[in-house]
Structures are given as structure tokens and as C-alpha cells.
Amino acid sequence: MTDASTDAPLPAEVAEIAKAKETLDLNRLALIGLRLAPDGNRALVRTAAGEIASLSVGDQADNLTVTAVTETGLHLIDRKGFARTLTMPG
């Protein structure tokens, strides 16, 4: 499994979290990793369709728009304006 934004291999533990049925609700967007960096934070997610995506502010996935990626999680807003925060599993 690779990170679609870089074609770099994902760490084994991240790939395992992405596939673990007991850890993630496979029917909805799930946060599986965070990258905090001076050039911009990114969140690694598993979509409801099973795809792995790397998201930053302004990106969309599963009808949600990313408003922030912080050390506490992935902050999103839906089309009706309701905010959601996804945190790391476990």
C-alpha cells in the first residue's frame, strides 16, 4: 500500500490500521494518520469506498471539506455546515 500523494510506501502499522475491521468503521471516513509539518499538515484517511487519501485544508472526501489538520485530529465540515472532528483510532 502506498501514499497516493507521494508514491512512498506506507508504514506497516498505518496500512494495518487502514485494513483492520475491528478498529475502523469501514462504512465511513476514518482517520488513520497525521503528518504535521512546517510546509503544511496532512491527514491520511480511509474513505467509505475503501480508498486511502492524503488530505489538507480545502480538500474534500465523502462529502466533507477539511477545515484544519492539527495534532488533535482532522477537522471537517459537511454541506449543511455541521463540524466534525476525527481522531486517531485506539
Name the fold adopted by 12-86: SH3 type barrels. (2.30.30)
What pLDDT digit, counting tens, does each position of 53-75 carry?
999 999 999 999 999 999 999 99
The Cα 36–Cα 57 span in angstroms is 12
Residue 3, pLDDT score: 44
Q: Inform me whether the pLDDT recorded for 1 exceeds 60.
A: no
What pLDDT digit, counting tens, does each position of 16-31 carry?
666 655 566 778 899 9
What pLDDT digit, counting tens, does each position of 28-44 carry?
899 999 999 999 999 99
